[in-house]
Structure 1
Amino acid sequence: MINSKEKYAQMIKTQAKNLGFDFCGIAKAEFLEDEAPKLEAWLNQNYHGQMAYLANHFDKRLDPTKLVDGAKTVVSLIYNYFPESTLPESPSDLKIAKYAYGKDYHFVIKDKLNTLLQNLQEEIGEIGGRAFVDSAPVMERQWAQKAGLGWTGKNSLLLNKKMGSFFFLAELIIDLEVAPDLPMTIDYCGTCTKCVDACPTDAIVGSGVVDGSRCISYFTIELKEQIPYEVKGKFENWIFGCDICQDVCPWNRFSKPHQEAEFLPHPDLQQMKRKDWEEITAETFNRVFQKSAVKRTKLEGLIRNIDFVKK
């Protein structure tokens, strides 16, 4: 006979699937004891660079009960963003990370998470909880692994056997006790080092450990000052984010195009050639990236990145 905790788990997974999430896993909300020394060591190495926010809220990052009163369960979800076709088609054109082709994922997925929580409240009754989409101190990859959704690849991203890594992670932390899934304990990367070998700035410094301050995504999005000259010529035309370590990953041969209309690129973005990027105006920037994650760099930041990859 199914007990209430198992019933709730089934209910959550059904609702998540109906909302378009590809996978849903459940873990008990508890202190991430194994992660504390790893996080501390990573911060002590200054691998977060100028991302000072990653050093904040150390305790909250490791303990979901400090984020949600009475938290009992962390629901981890996967949402696909792999596009049908990659921009640009010509290798000489400038590139932005695939996750930024369409509307900013924070808005798209947060709405779905809030709907999921509301639906559960209607079905089960009063549930306290919060939705998280890369927007608070939550160790999302660790929770997803704990919930059985995948393992941590050498590039530090969560890898899923059925769909690789081109997906967003999101969490619902709730005060309802739900039957947990078994954690993923096997590393299916084996001896493969394709991501490590392909990274032009040598940002992958250990298995599952990335020096964030050497990552192209960091230089093109997080860094607010001039990009250091020592990495000149190493960006391979990436001007917002970078997908190199994902593009070479053998597990991403299982990626299938997403079905989310909000993630489709702006028509003008699909037509942009190198010359269009190099001559970009405020008007074009605001029109094409009005609802895009690319707005994070602001126009000045994007122009800085474009200038940096000029030969």
Structure 2
Amino acid sequence: MFNKAATYSQMIKNEALRLGFMACGISKATFLEEEAPRLEKWLKNNHHGEMAYMENHFDKRLDPRLLVEGAKSVVSLTLNYFTDLKQQDASAPKISKYAYGTDYHSVIKDKLQALMAFIRENIGEVDGRCFVDSAPVLDKAWAKKSGLGWIGKNANLISKQVGSFFFLSELIIDLELAYDDPFPTDHCGSCTRCIDACPTNAIVAPYTIDGSRCISYLTIELKNEIPQEFKGKMDNWMFGCDVCQDVCPWNRFSTPHQEEQFKPKEELLEFNKAELVEMTDEVFKRVFKNSPVKRTKFSGLKRNIDFLQSSIIEV
């Protein structure tokens, strides 16, 4: 007997891999009961810092049917961004691996739209929306629910096969599909490497991040001055931070991505410390055009670099 849901699910997964996604899992669009009290507690503890938008659309974050009318399925996807390329000057302020190339929002959005077009062409009239880190969707919860991995002590989604250096995105659609089982077990065990290594003690308990202490937050989300308590604790990061992933044993399974658009500009890797410290707005616009780094604007990146420099001077 022809099982429509299973056939359609397999078609979608095959096309996702063809488009360059690393993995694809599918879960039923329903209310996230387990996540509701966790999210409420996290917000109550002010772990979102100045990210006031995290307080908005509480119900929508927990129920995709409020985002897409008639939603039946959440298609979760991962896209590899791991690279073994590094900035050549070890003393230069550092940029997180995910920000080396073209802004992932546009790269993934194009792939999601292509997947949506494939579904409509090959399955029929399907309604839905693409989500890339820009709407009230709990990406990690849905990825776990669709069997793509577990949420580690550093609050990142981790896969036994490939580690955690990947982006998450979703299609929420009004099509009934065959659903994957949630990822069954946590494989962090007694390991606390991420907790021990975090330079600002942002992992306040296993699986709990105080976002307002995270270097990624301090260098990207925070619009005001970086608090003085973090002087000398930023581990030389000027945009984002990879520490809790770099020390994770599961990332020994990470393999370099094959996405042309994520390849860094040579100039970015060749910057020495002095060039970054003295960087002009003109250089910023040229090197970081179409990059996630442009989100901080020149003034934000300069603030971060100056803060790192003042820490060195005082120490």
**TM-score normalised over the length of structure 2:** 0.97
Q: Which runs of no fewer than 5 residues in structure 1 stay unpaired?
A: none
Deviations 1:181-222 (A, max 9, x none): 010120000000000000011000122110000000011001
Assess if the C-alpha contact under 8 Å between 2:89 and 2:271 holds in 1: no
Assess if the C-alpha contact under 8 Å between 1:164 and 1:255 holds in 2: yes
Which runs of 4 or more aligned residues in structure 1 lie more than 3 Å from their structure 2 counterparts after TM superposition?
A: none
SS in 2 for 1:99: helix
Q: What is the match of residue 241 of structure 1?
A: 240
Is 1:73 the counterpart of 2:86 in the alignment?
Answer: no
Q: What is the match of residue 132 of structure 2?
A: 133
Q: Which runs of no fewer than 5 residues in structure 2 stay unpaired?
A: none
CA distance, structure 1, for counterparts of residue 308 and residue 174 of structure 2: 48
Deviations 1:116-152 (A, max 9, x none): 0001100011000000000100000000000000000
Residue 298 of structure 1 and its aligned partner are, at CA, apart by: 0.5
SS in 2 for 1:173: strand
Residue 93 of structure 1 and its aligned partner are, at CA, apart by: 1.5
CA RMSD of aligned residues (A): 0.7
**TM-score normalised over the length of structure 1:** 0.99
CA distance, structure 2, for counterparts of residue 294 and residue 187 of structure 1: 33
Residue 66 of structure 1 and its aligned partner are, at CA, apart by: 0.3
Assess if the C-alpha contact under 8 Å between 1:233 and 1:309 holds in 2: yes
CA distance, structure 2, for counterparts of residue 84 and residue 281 of structure 1: 28
Q: What is the match of residue 266 of structure 2?
A: 267
CA distance, structure 2, for counterparts of residue 96 and residue 185 of structure 1: 34
Deviations 1:151-179 (A, max 9, x none): 00000000001110100000000000000
CA distance, structure 2, for counterparts of residue 251 and residue 74 of structure 1: 26
Q: What is the match of residue 25 of structure 1?
A: 25
Deviations 1:63-108 (A, max 9, x none): 000000000000000000001312x234312100000000000000
SS in 2 for 1:213: helix
Is 1:4 the counterpart of 2:4 in the alignment?
Answer: yes
CA distance, structure 2, for counterparts of residue 52 and residue 296 of structure 1: 17
Q: What is the match of residue 48 of structure 1?
A: 48
Residue 2 of structure 1 and its aligned partner are, at CA, apart by: 4.6
Which residue identity is paired with 1:106?
H
SS in 2 for 1:114: helix
**Sequence identity percentage:** 61
SS in 2 for 1:218: helix
CA distance, structure 2, for counterparts of residue 281 and residue 169 of structure 1: 33
SS in 2 for 1:242: coil
